Copies of this chain bind each other. A is one copy, B any other.
Amino acid sequence: MTEKNTVGSYEFVAEPFCSDFTGHIALGVLGNFLLNVAEFHASDRGFGIITLNEGHYTWVLSRLVLEFDAMPRQTERFTIQTWVENVYRLFTDRNFAVLDKDGKYIGYARSVWAMIDLDTRKPVDLLNVYSGGITSYICDKECPIEKAGKIKVVSETPVRELVMRYSDIDINGHVNSIRYIDHILDLFPLDLYKSKRVKRFEIAYINECHYGDTLLFLCDDKGAGEYHVEIKKKDGGEVVCRSKVIFI
């Protein structure tokens, strides 16, 4: 299959009221754009969430890695490209590239997804669903950022405790994947964002949360601008997600 059909390309404008205080698009907003683009690309090819829901399947985001040399500034145009790198039995790797207004690559992202059956909540075999049709979109376009690594957090003293509310909940009734990014970035002081920026952000989603859950945020400062974060449920201690944030 040609790259033309395997790589989806979508243009956006970094709108003034979607920026953080530095005037650049907020990482969470960009994360939402990536998920939207994943959905556009998949649904154009017959395997988006909305098509899947009719077949009682849905996509579940398992890992997300974002790495940027620069972030689009407010009012600037930018482009997101997305493609499927691999399809395994239980997971698929979807990559992204972000290009600035001049068409220069300014960042990449990697994501890992599973498909689940909405009735049984069990994973679906991606090599057999839709007659293995997803594999026909695999593309070998380069994604020159490292895959997600293992994250281990040793701290046991929460730096924040937060109850999940209305705005945290997505259409599946769980806490929205991107909201965790916002909540994690909110752990760091504004002064850090004044002198540095997030170069790389990794998150591994482990267990789902619901409305009313109280979350505990644990954070290890690894030095040199690297932080490892774990979010746990206060009730029961189940790990919700782990994240690595690297500021430069």
**A: which residues have CB within 8 A of B?**
15-23, 26, 28, 32, 35-36, 39, 49-50, 74-75, 165-167, 169-173, 176, 178, 182, 185-186, 188-190, 193, 211-212
With A17-B178, A173-B21 known as contacts, the answer to whether A28 contacts B167 (CB < 8 A) is yes
B residues near A178, Cβ cutoff 8 Å: 17
Chain B residues lying within 8 Å of A193, measured Cβ to Cβ, are 166
A15-B32, A190-B211 known; A20+B169 contact, CB < 8 A: yes
Closest CB of chain B to A209's CB: distance in Å? 13
Residue in contact with A21 in the complex, picked from B39, B74, B171, CB distance below 8 Å: B171
Jot down 19 A-B pairs with beta carbons below 8 A, ordered by A.
Answer: A16-B49, A17-B36, A17-B178, A19-B170, A20-B169, A20-B170, A21-B166, A21-B169, A21-B172, A22-B171, A23-B171, A26-B167, A74-B171, A165-B186, A166-B186, A166-B190, A166-B193, A167-B185, A167-B186
